[in-house]
Structure formats: structure tokens, C-alpha cells
Amino acid sequence: MNSFMNFLNNKFAPRAQKIANNQWIVTIKNSILEVLPFIFVGSLITLLNIPTNFWKWWPDLSPISSFTFGLTSIFVAFLVPFNFMEFKKINKQRIIAGLSSVALFLMLANPSWDKTGNVISYQFSELGAGGMFVALVVGVFVALIMELFAKFSFFSDDTSMPDFVTAWFDSMLPIAVVIATGWLLTDILHFNLYHLIVAIFSPIATSLDTWWGFTFYLFLQCFIYSMGISSWVLSGIDKPVMLAGIAANASAYSLGHAAKHIFTSELIFSFPWIGGIGCTMPLVLMMLFWAKSNRLKALGKASVLPTIFNINEPVVFGTIVWNPYLMIPLWINGIVLPLITAFWFKAGLSPIPHSLMQMWYIPFPFVTWIVSPAVSSMILLVILFIVGGLIYYPFFKVYDRNLVKQETENEA
């Protein structure tokens, strides 16, 4: 165990952190995180639309969701090059880069023109979560073009022209390159790059929707989290798939079909991750009510309120990170609980969530009932809580006993 922990501490963690700090990982992660307020608004609309199931006079608020959550790909297309320019300290080009990216994304998003050529229409599915991967690719391409032309200028350093005028002219060439690329692909070559990008990334979405892909990815969240690396570093991979999955579930449900995608934030944070990633609520309750050591008692009191709202950083960074006693049960829960969840929903024992609900801080079991209102969902939640607690219990007892021994020796 010591050799394994040394390997993780000295070899794996530094390399993982280096990847997490990569300029593109940081840019994509920050861009997606900055879109979350719009996604939260869409989730709020899901809550406010619940009365429509009971009262016919209640107004339909779904258009609000359509113009928040439904436009996430446009927002991401703007933010990726914008944030990259800011990361590279090329601030004078960041707005131009973002706007150019939006223009290229809209060119590639399969617009439909009427016979007069004056009216254009888009599918919300391609402007929203369904186009997230396309927006990321477009954003990266535009960022690279803008960085390439950042040092180019039509004017000398000692020009008398105002800076804002030189910035206008210097931006024209990269803008022309970006838009000309879209024109060549769509109007001249009639090449559907949008569908190509979706097809390239579809194996990721397909694999994560399997029981083994679902389990492996949730285990990966627990694994890196146990070393103090936030799972947000994976948002560039999982968020596009999750948002596209819940959008596809909503579309299928509206057409009278069954929802099929299990790799969604709505399912993950409403079932296996009770109290946060790794199902830490049972552990916190053990600390609060059963711990004999002063350290775990105090940590239990400090962590219980955040845990109710599924915020588990206090307990994770307070006692799990780099602690072999509790890292191991966190990893085991990262395998066992996703397996139970995946097979339960694949067997059709509970309805798969079909409405946007990104408010992961809503306490259990309320959030579970909101996304999957069925008695079977409550039964699954109880099973996951008990199993998660049973996995933590023996490790918790050994660790607590060890702390009591240390505290007694210190007092002596």
C-alpha cells in the first residue's frame, strides 16, 4: 500500500495536475463553467413548469429555457476563443475572436433558407447542447487562427494611427480567414462539417451511455477527486455529453418515446452521488453520530450542512484526500454504486430523467423525486445509500479507532 500511495503521490498526481493545467483544458473548462448560469435558469424553468401537470391555467415557461439552455453551444462558441485570447494575454483580439467564432458556428450549424434567401432558420437541437462538441471545435480553430495573426499588423510600431483603428484593420484578415473557411466548406464544397464532428465524437457519448462506460467514468471522478483534483477538469468531456443526453431524452419524451440516455447530470447527481461525488453523505453521518475521535466528530459537525446540499469539499479535502483509509472506500463506491445505478435503469426499473435539472444542490430525496418521480426511484435511492454506507463503515471504524489512539497518546 505504501508503494502504491507513493506512486500516486509522486508520479501520477503531478502528471494529472499538469494535464489539468494545460491551456486548452483550462480554456474549455472555464468556458463551460461560465455557461452554467444559463443552464441553471433552464433548470429553474423545469421546476416552475411542474404545476402545468396539475393546472391548465399555469403559463408555459419553456421558451425561457429554449433561449437559455437552448443556446448553450452559441455561448460556448464565443467563450472558447475569448478565454483563450485572455489566457494568452492577447486582450485586444478577444472580442473579435469570440464574435468570429459565433459567425463560423452559425455558418456550420446547418441553417435552412427559404426560397427568397431572406429568411433563415435553425434547429434548437443544433444551437443548444446537441452542438456543444461542434462549438468546441470551432472555438479552438478560431482561437488558433487569431493567435497566429496576433503578431501581424498592417502598421509599424511608430504609426500615428490610434490603437483602436489599427486594431480594426489588423482584425480584418483573421476574420476573413475564419469566415472564408466556413464559406468554402458550406457554399463551395457543400461539406457538412457539423455532421462530421458530431459523428467523430458520437463514440464517446455512446460508450459513456453503456454500463461499463458509465461506471468507468464515475470511478475516474472519484479516483482523481481522492487526490485533490476536482472533477471539474473533466467538464470538457462530460458536460457536452451530459447536456446532449438530457436534451435527447427531453426530445424523445416530447415525441412519446422512452428516454434512453443514462449519462446525464440529472441521473448521476440525483442517484449515486448522495451528498456529492463518491456518495459521502453516509460517511458524514457516521462521523457526526458514531465517531469517537475528536477530529472526526468536529469534521462531521462542520460538513453535515454542506453535505445536505451536496457540497462535499469539506469532508473530501478535510479527511479523504491522500488518506488511504478513506480513499479506498471512495474508489469502491465509485465502482459499485454506478454499476447498481446503470443496471437498474437499463433494466427499466425506474424512469430515466428527461427534464433539465442542473440544480445539483437540491437536497436528497427531493432532487431524486423531481427528476424521476416514481416509488422505484426512492427504493433505488435507499439501496444506494445503504450500500454506500456499508462500504464506508469498516474503513471509517478502523480510521476512527486509529485517531482515538493517536489522540490518547498525544494527551498522555
Higher pLDDT, 52 or 102: 102
Q: Give the model's confidence band at 211: pLDDT under 50 very low, under 70 low, under 90 confident, else very high.
A: very high
pLDDT value at 177 more than 90: yes
pLDDT higher than threshold 90 for residue 61 = no
Instruction: For residue 339, give the H/E element and its range.
Output: helix 324-346
pLDDT at position 143 is 95
3-state helix, strand, coil in the chain (%, to 5): 70, 0, 25
Higher-pLDDT residue of 58, 372 = 372
C-alpha angle 273-278-284 in degrees, rounded to nearest 5: 95
| 297 vs 90: CA distance, rounded Å | 50
Label residue 149 by pLDDT band (50, 70, 90).
Answer: confident
For β-strands 120-121 and 112-113, DSSP reports them as antiparallel
pLDDT of residue 77: 95
Question: Comparing 57-66, 179-188, 337-346, which segment has the lowest mean pLDDT?
Answer: 57-66
The tally of CA atoms less than 13 A away on the side-chain side of residue 83 is: 22
Question: Which grid coordinates belong to 167?
Answer: 486594431
Cβ pair 340, 387 in contact under 8 A:
yes
Residue 52: is its pLDDT beyond 70? yes
Displacement of CA 41 from its chain's centroid (Å): 16
Q: What is the mean pLDDT of residues 370-385?
A: 96
In whole angstroms, give the CA distance from residue 58 to residue 77: 35
With a cut of 70, say whether residue 350 has pLDDT above it. Answer: yes
> Across the strands, what pairs with 214?
none
Interval 263-314: pLDDT, tens: 999 999 999 999 999 999 999 999 999 999 999 999 999 999 999 999 888 9
C-alpha cell at 256: 412519446
Is pLDDT at 53 greater than 80 in this prediction?
A: no
Residue 155, pLDDT above cutoff 80: no
Say yes or no to pLDDT of 217 above 90: yes
Q: Given pLDDT bands bounded at 50, 70 and 90, which one contains residue 166? A: low
Indicate the pLDDT class of residue 39, thresholds 50, 70 and 90: confident
Give 253 or 29, the one with higher predicted confidence. Answer: 253
Bridge partners, 316 (sequence order): none
pLDDT at 159: 64
Other residues' Cβ atoms within 10 Å of the Cβ of residue 282: 24
Residue 120's SS3 state is strand
Confidence of residue 105 (pLDDT cuts 50, 70, 90): very high
Mean of pLDDT over the chain: 87
Half-sphere exposure of 63 (CA within 13 A, CB side): 2
Element at 112 (helix H, strand E)? strand 112-113
